[in-house]
Structure 1
Amino acid sequence: MLILEAQYFPSIAYFVALANAKEVTIDAYEHFEKQTYRNRCTIVGANGPLDLTIPIQHTKLKIPMNDVQIDYRQKWLNTHWRAIQSAYGKAPFFDFYSVYIEDELKREYNGLLELNKTLLTLCLKLLQLDVKVLWSEKYVEPDANGITDFRSFVHPKKQLAELSGFQPKAYTQIFGSEFVPNMSILDLLFCEGPNALEIIKQSGELHKN
């Protein structure tokens, strides 16, 4: 059984892990980690990769993911959506997918986990990726029997070479002459549409050394 953390519009490597698993458990009770994809995604804009980060309300040092609250006092929603529109407004499949994504993104959620869960469910549906996803009812111990722990394996600070087995398949992006690998699933959906799942399947698989 594969264990992952809940991410915000996850990267392509995250979906490669999902595509190569029959069953995945998302840990809802692990501790939130700063500067990870739990509340961040990376898209490709006119000036290159651009991080979009959800502000959270800090109440204590170690917060279980299911307790993390989004700081809606900050106007991050408008900022994120304007950035997405600017980056992908002219992408081949933006008009088709953006309707679904904007509807879900612009709701107000009870917490970060609820937002990530909703967006992951939507992305799996748009990709037509059939994988059984479970949400844990308690913290999953890293040494539990029968699990492969990939929590924080796909991480902003990790180089691609550290993602063993991941071989990102290049596709046509909107900006730049050089392909930027492992961006948010938004980049792949807007640029490739129905072909997105096939690109994920051609991008290898993740495994730990």
Structure 2
Amino acid sequence: MKTVFADLHYFPNLEYFCAILESDKLVLDPRSIYQRKSFFNRTQIRLANKVETLSVPIVGRRPRIPLGEIEIDYRQKWQKVHLRGIQSAYGKTPFFEFIFPYFVALFEQEYKLLWDLNLQVLTICLKIMQWPVNLEIATETTDKQGFTDIRGLLMPGSHFSQRDIYHPVAYVQNFGLDFEPNLSILDLLFAEGPQAKSILQASSKKH
């Protein structure tokens, strides 16, 4: 059984899913320290004229705090902004009518902690792809022997080409003539639906 220790991202990009592709168990640690400008609260989608970053606002400036304690700031109507952005980006894609209701229901809930929202996001994405990986929340007693640790590896400031994880395999995107690689998993899900995992398998450098 292969175990991967990973960060928890907000609608993770394709490199993230290639990195966990062969895992049987994915261990997520809410005790990890929050890093500013990380994927914990942001993702990228493709609109008609640009790649747009969707960010979840958090309460206060949070230096040196565990991920599991980061609170979402609901004073900003970010849910409507994100849903509108997703609808604008993917409303005409093949699997929009099938997948979009999952995320409408998600954003109708108000999760106090960003950790809980992201965990539900990951669960939904894995369900759509029919991906039977086991999710485990790390504790003090979690066995760390023989696992692969990718925590801190995937950050917005470093390009995927610097790592030996993800090799872009093009699929039909809704906008643009040139393929835009390594966007949010949303981009691939709306284009390919349950077949998204096969694209990820082809995009993995271990393939």
TM-score above 0.5, yes or no:
yes
Q: What is aligned with 2:171?
A: 171
Aligned residues: 204
Query: 1: distance between equivalents of 2:141 and 2:119?
Result: 17
Q: CA deviation at 1:139?
A: 10
1:97-139 per-residue CA deviation (whole Å, 9 max, x = no partner) reads 0011210123100200000001111110001011122111249
Query: 1: distance between equivalents of 2:101 and 2:157?
Result: 31
* Shift in alpha-carbon separation, 1:152–1:71, aligned structure 2, 3 A: same
What TM-score, normalized by structure 1, do the two folds share? 0.91
1:23-77 per-residue CA deviation (whole Å, 9 max, x = no partner) reads 2101111011111110001001112211000010126411101100000011111
Moved over 3 A (4+): none
* Aligned-CA RMSD value: 1.8
SS of 2:203 mapped into structure 1: coil
Gaps in structure 2 of 5+ consecutive residues: none
- Contact 1:28/1:139 (<8 A) preserved: no
1:27 to 26, 29, 34: 29
1:73-92 per-residue CA deviation (whole Å, 9 max, x = no partner) reads 11111111111111111111
Query: 2: distance between equivalents of 1:187 and 1:115?
Result: 19
What TM-score, normalized by structure 2, do the two folds share? 0.92
The letter of the residue matching 1:90 is: K
- Contact 1:5/1:151 (<8 A) preserved: yes
Q: What is aligned with 1:151?
A: 151
Q: What is aligned with 1:41?
A: 43
2:133 to 113, 131, 134: 131
Query: 2: distance between equivalents of 1:132 and 1:111?
Result: 22
SS of 1:28 mapped into structure 2: coil
2:78 to 60, 76, 79: 76
2:189 aligned with 1:189: yes
Q: What is aligned with 1:202?
A: 202
1:5-38 per-residue CA deviation (whole Å, 9 max, x = no partner) reads 1110111111112222122101111011111110
SS of 1:70 mapped into structure 2: coil
* Shift in alpha-carbon separation, 1:60–1:119, aligned structure 2, 3 A: closer
SS of 1:6 mapped into structure 2: coil
- Contact 2:15/2:160 (<8 A) preserved: no
2:57 to 48, 51, 55: 55
2:5 aligned with 1:3: yes
The letter of the residue matching 1:76 is: W
